[in-house]
Amino acid sequence: MRLQNVNKLPSLEDLKVFSVAAHCESFSIAADQLGVSPAYISKRIKLLEDNVGVTLFFRAPRSVHLTEQGKIVLNTSEQLLIQLDKMQAQLRELAIETKGLIRVGCSSGFGATFLSHFIAALKQKYQQLNIDLYLNDKPSDLIEDNLHLDIRIGGSFPPQYIAKKIANNHRILCASPSYVEQHGKPIHPSDLESKHVCIGIRERDTLFGSWKLGCHGESVVIMPNTELIVNNGHVAKLWCQEGQGIILRSIWDVEAELKSGQLIQLLPQWKQEANVYAVYHQKTSHNANLRTFLIEFEQFLATQIQSDLNIPAT
Protein backbone atom coordinates (compact mmCIF):
# COMPACT_ATOMS: atom_id res chain seq x y z
CA MET A 1 0.00 0.00 0.00
CA ARG A 2 1.38 3.41 -0.96
CA LEU A 3 2.03 5.95 1.82
CA GLN A 4 -0.55 8.73 1.99
CA ASN A 5 -1.90 11.31 4.44
CA VAL A 6 1.44 11.23 6.25
CA ASN A 7 0.99 14.78 7.51
CA LYS A 8 -2.22 13.90 9.35
CA LEU A 9 -1.75 12.64 12.91
CA PRO A 10 -3.55 9.40 13.78
CA SER A 11 -6.49 9.50 16.17
CA LEU A 12 -5.63 8.47 19.74
CA GLU A 13 -8.79 6.37 19.79
CA ASP A 14 -7.59 4.51 16.69
CA LEU A 15 -4.19 3.89 18.29
CA LYS A 16 -5.84 2.52 21.45
CA VAL A 17 -8.10 0.18 19.44
CA PHE A 18 -5.15 -0.92 17.31
CA SER A 19 -3.00 -1.70 20.37
CA VAL A 20 -5.70 -3.87 21.96
CA ALA A 21 -6.41 -5.70 18.71
CA ALA A 22 -2.70 -6.33 18.14
CA HIS A 23 -2.28 -7.95 21.56
CA CYS A 24 -5.50 -9.96 21.27
CA GLU A 25 -4.73 -11.00 17.67
CA SER A 26 -8.49 -10.94 17.15
CA PHE A 27 -10.97 -8.17 16.34
CA SER A 28 -13.80 -9.99 18.12
CA ILE A 29 -11.82 -10.51 21.34
CA ALA A 30 -10.68 -6.87 21.23
CA ALA A 31 -14.31 -5.84 20.78
CA ASP A 32 -15.29 -7.81 23.91
CA GLN A 33 -12.52 -6.16 25.95
CA LEU A 34 -13.46 -2.66 24.83
CA GLY A 35 -17.21 -3.20 25.01
CA VAL A 36 -17.82 -2.38 21.35
CA SER A 37 -18.78 -4.34 18.23
CA PRO A 38 -16.27 -6.17 15.97
CA ALA A 39 -17.48 -3.91 13.15
CA TYR A 40 -16.37 -0.87 15.16
CA ILE A 41 -12.90 -2.40 15.65
CA SER A 42 -12.64 -3.17 11.96
CA LYS A 43 -13.70 0.37 11.04
CA ARG A 44 -11.15 2.02 13.38
CA ILE A 45 -8.32 -0.20 12.12
CA LYS A 46 -9.24 0.58 8.48
CA LEU A 47 -9.22 4.33 9.26
CA LEU A 48 -5.79 4.00 10.91
CA GLU A 49 -4.42 2.05 7.95
CA ASP A 50 -5.71 4.71 5.56
CA ASN A 51 -4.22 7.38 7.81
CA VAL A 52 -0.69 5.92 8.00
CA GLY A 53 -0.80 4.50 4.50
CA VAL A 54 0.22 0.92 5.29
CA THR A 55 -1.45 -2.41 6.01
CA LEU A 56 -1.21 -3.18 9.72
CA PHE A 57 -2.59 -6.75 9.88
CA PHE A 58 -2.55 -9.96 7.94
CA ARG A 59 -6.20 -10.97 8.22
CA ALA A 60 -7.33 -14.62 8.63
CA PRO A 61 -10.92 -15.87 9.25
CA ARG A 62 -10.43 -16.22 13.02
CA SER A 63 -7.32 -14.19 13.80
CA VAL A 64 -5.12 -11.30 12.70
CA HIS A 65 -1.35 -10.87 12.84
CA LEU A 66 0.80 -7.79 12.60
CA THR A 67 2.69 -6.97 9.44
CA GLU A 68 6.24 -5.64 9.72
CA GLN A 69 4.83 -2.14 9.29
CA GLY A 70 2.22 -2.96 11.93
CA LYS A 71 4.94 -3.86 14.43
CA ILE A 72 6.60 -0.47 13.89
CA VAL A 73 3.30 1.35 14.33
CA LEU A 74 2.49 -0.69 17.46
CA ASN A 75 5.83 0.11 19.09
CA THR A 76 5.44 3.84 18.51
CA SER A 77 1.73 3.80 19.39
CA GLU A 78 2.34 2.20 22.76
CA GLN A 79 5.08 4.68 23.59
CA LEU A 80 2.68 7.51 22.76
CA LEU A 81 -0.10 5.96 24.85
CA ILE A 82 2.25 5.48 27.82
CA GLN A 83 3.31 9.12 27.64
CA LEU A 84 -0.33 10.16 27.36
CA ASP A 85 -1.20 8.16 30.49
CA LYS A 86 1.68 9.84 32.33
CA MET A 87 0.49 13.27 31.21
CA GLN A 88 -3.08 12.58 32.32
CA ALA A 89 -1.85 11.25 35.67
CA GLN A 90 0.22 14.40 36.23
CA LEU A 91 -2.74 16.62 35.33
CA ARG A 92 -4.98 14.68 37.73
CA GLU A 93 -2.37 15.01 40.46
CA LEU A 94 -2.04 18.75 39.82
CA ALA A 95 -5.81 19.15 40.03
CA ILE A 96 -6.21 17.03 43.17
CA GLU A 97 -3.07 17.25 45.33
CA THR A 98 -1.88 20.42 47.05
CA LYS A 99 1.88 20.28 46.60
CA GLY A 100 4.62 21.91 44.60
CA LEU A 101 5.10 25.62 43.87
CA ILE A 102 2.65 28.52 43.84
CA ARG A 103 3.96 32.06 43.22
CA VAL A 104 1.83 34.83 44.72
CA GLY A 105 2.11 38.58 44.22
CA CYS A 106 0.78 41.38 46.42
CA SER A 107 1.44 44.94 47.53
CA SER A 108 3.97 45.28 50.35
CA GLY A 109 1.46 46.74 52.84
CA PHE A 110 -1.28 44.14 52.53
CA GLY A 111 1.28 41.38 52.01
CA ALA A 112 3.18 42.19 55.19
CA THR A 113 0.00 42.69 57.25
CA PHE A 114 -2.00 39.64 56.16
CA LEU A 115 -0.33 37.42 53.57
CA SER A 116 2.85 36.82 55.56
CA HIS A 117 0.95 35.42 58.57
CA PHE A 118 -1.48 33.47 56.39
CA ILE A 119 1.28 31.84 54.35
CA ALA A 120 3.15 30.73 57.46
CA ALA A 121 -0.01 29.01 58.73
CA LEU A 122 -0.82 27.54 55.30
CA LYS A 123 2.65 26.02 55.04
CA GLN A 124 2.16 24.26 58.35
CA LYS A 125 -1.09 22.75 57.07
CA TYR A 126 0.20 21.81 53.59
CA GLN A 127 3.84 20.93 54.11
CA GLN A 128 4.39 19.82 50.50
CA LEU A 129 3.27 23.22 49.23
CA ASN A 130 6.08 25.64 48.33
CA ILE A 131 5.12 29.33 48.27
CA ASP A 132 7.04 32.16 46.62
CA LEU A 133 5.67 35.51 47.83
CA TYR A 134 6.47 38.49 45.60
CA LEU A 135 5.78 41.86 47.25
CA ASN A 136 5.86 44.81 44.90
CA ASP A 137 4.24 48.25 44.99
CA LYS A 138 4.53 48.74 41.23
CA PRO A 139 1.78 47.61 38.80
CA SER A 140 2.15 43.87 38.26
CA ASP A 141 1.35 41.46 35.44
CA LEU A 142 0.83 37.75 35.97
CA ILE A 143 2.72 36.69 32.86
CA GLU A 144 5.61 39.16 33.00
CA ASP A 145 6.14 38.59 36.75
CA ASN A 146 5.65 34.82 36.43
CA LEU A 147 2.84 34.73 39.00
CA HIS A 148 0.15 32.10 39.49
CA LEU A 149 -1.92 34.52 41.56
CA ASP A 150 -1.96 38.24 42.39
CA ILE A 151 -3.80 39.72 45.38
CA ARG A 152 -5.05 43.21 44.55
CA ILE A 153 -6.80 45.93 46.52
CA GLY A 154 -9.35 47.64 44.28
CA GLY A 155 -8.16 48.87 40.90
CA SER A 156 -9.02 47.53 37.45
CA PHE A 157 -8.30 44.09 36.05
CA PRO A 158 -7.17 43.01 32.56
CA PRO A 159 -10.03 41.23 30.76
CA GLN A 160 -7.90 38.17 29.98
CA TYR A 161 -7.61 37.32 33.68
CA ILE A 162 -10.08 35.98 36.25
CA ALA A 163 -10.77 38.35 39.16
CA LYS A 164 -12.50 36.88 42.24
CA LYS A 165 -13.55 39.08 45.15
CA ILE A 166 -12.37 37.48 48.36
CA ALA A 167 -13.06 40.22 50.93
CA ASN A 168 -14.95 43.50 51.27
CA ASN A 169 -12.88 46.58 51.92
CA HIS A 170 -13.03 50.35 51.54
CA ARG A 171 -10.68 53.30 51.91
CA ILE A 172 -11.35 56.20 54.28
CA LEU A 173 -9.97 59.70 54.82
CA CYS A 174 -7.72 60.21 57.85
CA ALA A 175 -5.61 62.89 59.47
CA SER A 176 -3.67 63.28 62.70
CA PRO A 177 -5.08 65.19 65.69
CA SER A 178 -2.34 67.82 65.20
CA TYR A 179 -3.40 68.37 61.57
CA VAL A 180 -7.06 68.75 62.58
CA GLU A 181 -6.11 71.13 65.37
CA GLN A 182 -4.18 73.30 62.93
CA HIS A 183 -6.36 73.09 59.80
CA GLY A 184 -9.77 71.95 61.01
CA LYS A 185 -11.91 69.26 59.36
CA PRO A 186 -13.17 69.33 55.79
CA ILE A 187 -16.97 69.45 55.46
CA HIS A 188 -17.10 68.16 51.86
CA PRO A 189 -14.66 66.23 49.63
CA SER A 190 -14.25 69.31 47.44
CA ASP A 191 -12.49 70.99 50.38
CA LEU A 192 -9.57 68.61 49.75
CA GLU A 193 -8.82 70.29 46.43
CA SER A 194 -7.84 73.68 47.85
CA LYS A 195 -8.62 74.20 51.54
CA HIS A 196 -6.61 71.21 52.80
CA VAL A 197 -3.32 69.42 52.16
CA CYS A 198 -3.32 65.75 51.11
CA ILE A 199 -0.69 63.04 50.77
CA GLY A 200 -0.62 61.25 47.41
CA ILE A 201 0.27 57.58 47.00
CA ARG A 202 1.47 55.92 43.80
CA GLU A 203 0.76 52.32 44.70
CA ARG A 204 0.25 49.43 42.30
CA ASP A 205 -3.09 49.71 40.48
CA THR A 206 -4.40 52.65 42.49
CA LEU A 207 -5.40 55.51 40.20
CA PHE A 208 -3.04 58.37 41.05
CA GLY A 209 -4.00 62.03 40.89
CA SER A 210 -7.71 61.70 41.59
CA TRP A 211 -9.85 60.28 44.37
CA LYS A 212 -13.28 58.83 43.67
CA LEU A 213 -15.45 58.90 46.79
CA GLY A 214 -19.00 57.73 47.40
CA CYS A 215 -21.69 58.57 49.95
CA HIS A 216 -25.11 56.87 50.03
CA GLY A 217 -25.25 56.46 46.26
CA GLU A 218 -23.68 59.84 45.47
CA SER A 219 -20.25 59.78 43.81
CA VAL A 220 -17.65 62.52 43.33
CA VAL A 221 -14.19 62.61 41.78
CA ILE A 222 -11.79 65.15 43.25
CA MET A 223 -8.22 66.22 42.47
CA PRO A 224 -6.65 66.39 45.95
CA ASN A 225 -4.15 69.09 46.77
CA THR A 226 -1.09 66.87 47.24
CA GLU A 227 2.14 68.43 48.47
CA LEU A 228 3.77 65.11 49.42
CA ILE A 229 3.73 62.02 47.16
CA VAL A 230 5.19 58.57 47.78
CA ASN A 231 4.93 55.06 46.32
CA ASN A 232 4.68 53.36 49.72
CA GLY A 233 1.59 53.34 51.91
CA HIS A 234 3.53 52.88 55.14
CA VAL A 235 5.54 56.05 54.54
CA ALA A 236 2.35 57.95 53.65
CA LYS A 237 0.78 56.87 56.92
CA LEU A 238 3.84 57.99 58.90
CA TRP A 239 3.68 61.42 57.24
CA CYS A 240 -0.01 61.59 58.07
CA GLN A 241 0.66 60.77 61.72
CA GLU A 242 3.20 63.57 61.78
CA GLY A 243 0.54 66.06 60.67
CA GLN A 244 1.72 66.51 57.09
CA GLY A 245 -1.68 66.00 55.46
CA ILE A 246 -4.77 63.89 54.82
CA ILE A 247 -4.52 60.34 53.44
CA LEU A 248 -6.97 57.97 51.78
CA ARG A 249 -6.18 54.49 53.09
CA SER A 250 -7.81 51.11 53.46
CA ILE A 251 -9.64 50.67 56.74
CA TRP A 252 -7.52 47.63 57.65
CA ASP A 253 -4.34 49.69 57.30
CA VAL A 254 -5.38 52.44 59.73
CA GLU A 255 -7.46 50.44 62.22
CA ALA A 256 -4.84 50.44 64.99
CA GLU A 257 -4.13 54.17 64.63
CA LEU A 258 -7.84 55.00 64.69
CA LYS A 259 -8.39 52.98 67.84
CA SER A 260 -5.35 54.49 69.57
CA GLY A 261 -6.26 58.04 68.59
CA GLN A 262 -3.13 58.60 66.49
CA LEU A 263 -5.40 59.20 63.50
CA ILE A 264 -8.91 60.64 63.15
CA GLN A 265 -11.36 59.63 60.45
CA LEU A 266 -12.60 62.58 58.38
CA LEU A 267 -15.83 62.81 56.39
CA PRO A 268 -16.85 59.38 57.74
CA GLN A 269 -19.86 59.19 55.41
CA TRP A 270 -17.53 59.33 52.37
CA LYS A 271 -15.47 56.31 51.37
CA GLN A 272 -13.86 54.64 48.39
CA GLU A 273 -14.63 51.02 47.53
CA ALA A 274 -11.43 48.96 47.42
CA ASN A 275 -12.35 45.31 47.77
CA VAL A 276 -9.74 42.57 47.94
CA TYR A 277 -9.47 40.52 44.75
CA ALA A 278 -7.57 37.43 43.71
CA VAL A 279 -6.47 37.69 40.09
CA TYR A 280 -5.36 34.59 38.17
CA HIS A 281 -5.31 33.24 34.61
CA GLN A 282 -6.55 29.67 34.86
CA LYS A 283 -9.56 27.88 36.30
CA THR A 284 -9.04 26.71 39.87
CA SER A 285 -10.40 23.28 38.92
CA HIS A 286 -7.16 22.72 36.98
CA ASN A 287 -4.81 23.51 39.85
CA ALA A 288 -5.17 22.29 43.43
CA ASN A 289 -2.53 24.72 44.74
CA LEU A 290 -4.43 27.72 43.42
CA ARG A 291 -7.80 26.37 44.56
CA THR A 292 -6.55 25.57 48.06
CA PHE A 293 -4.82 28.94 48.45
CA LEU A 294 -7.95 30.86 47.47
CA ILE A 295 -10.31 28.88 49.71
CA GLU A 296 -8.02 29.08 52.72
CA PHE A 297 -7.18 32.78 52.22
CA GLU A 298 -10.81 33.80 51.83
CA GLN A 299 -11.62 32.03 55.10
CA PHE A 300 -8.60 33.64 56.77
CA LEU A 301 -9.62 37.16 55.70
CA ALA A 302 -13.18 36.58 56.90
CA THR A 303 -11.82 36.19 60.44
CA GLN A 304 -9.13 38.86 60.19
CA ILE A 305 -10.53 41.94 58.50
CA GLN A 306 -14.29 41.64 58.02
CA SER A 307 -15.03 42.94 61.51
CA ASP A 308 -12.52 45.73 61.00
CA LEU A 309 -14.52 47.32 58.18
CA ASN A 310 -17.02 49.05 60.46
CA ILE A 311 -14.81 50.96 62.88
CA PRO A 312 -16.76 53.84 64.43
CA ALA A 313 -15.63 57.26 63.24
CA THR A 314 -14.11 59.65 65.76
CATH code assigned at 34: 1.10.10.10
CB burial readout 74-95, b (16+ within 10 A) else e: beebbebeeeeeeeeeeeeebe
pLDDT tens by residue, the chain, 314 residues: 444 555 577 888 889 999 999 989 899 999 998 999 989 999 999 999 988 889 999 988 888 899 999 899 999 888 888 888 777 766 666 566 778 889 999 988 889 888 999 999 999 988 888 999 999 877 778 888 889 999 998 877 778 888 999 999 899 999 999 999 999 999 999 999 989 999 998 876 666 678 999 998 889 999 999 999 998 888 999 999 999 999 999 988 999 999 999 999 999 999 999 899 999 987 765 788 898 899 899 999 988 775 444 444 43
Give the pLDDT of residue 80.
86
One domain for residues 157 and 305? yes
**Is residue 1 in a domain?**
no
Distance between CA atoms of residues 14 and 107, nearest Å = 52
What is the total count of domains within the chain? 3
Number of other residues whose CB lies within 10 A of the CB of residue 278: 21
From the list 248, 223, 245, the residue with the least C-alpha distance to 233 is 248
**Is residue 6 in a domain?**
no
Q: Domain range for residue 149?
A: 100-168+275-310
One domain for residues 177 and 265? yes
One domain for residues 155 and 290? yes
One domain for residues 182 and 246? yes
**Is residue 126 in a domain?**
yes
Q: What CATH code is carried by the domain that includes residue 147?
A: 3.40.190.10
**Is residue 28 in a domain?**
yes
What is the reported pTM? Answer: 0.66
Number of other residues whose CB lies within 10 A of the CB of residue 117: 12
One domain for residues 217 and 242? yes
Letter for the amino acid at 194?
Answer: S
Render pLDDT for 165-177 as a digit per residue (tens, 0 to 9): 999 989 999 999 9
Strands in 218-263 per DSSP E:
218-222, 226-230, 247-250
Among candidate residues 53, 72, 96, the one where a domain is terminated? 96
**Is residue 227 in a domain?**
yes
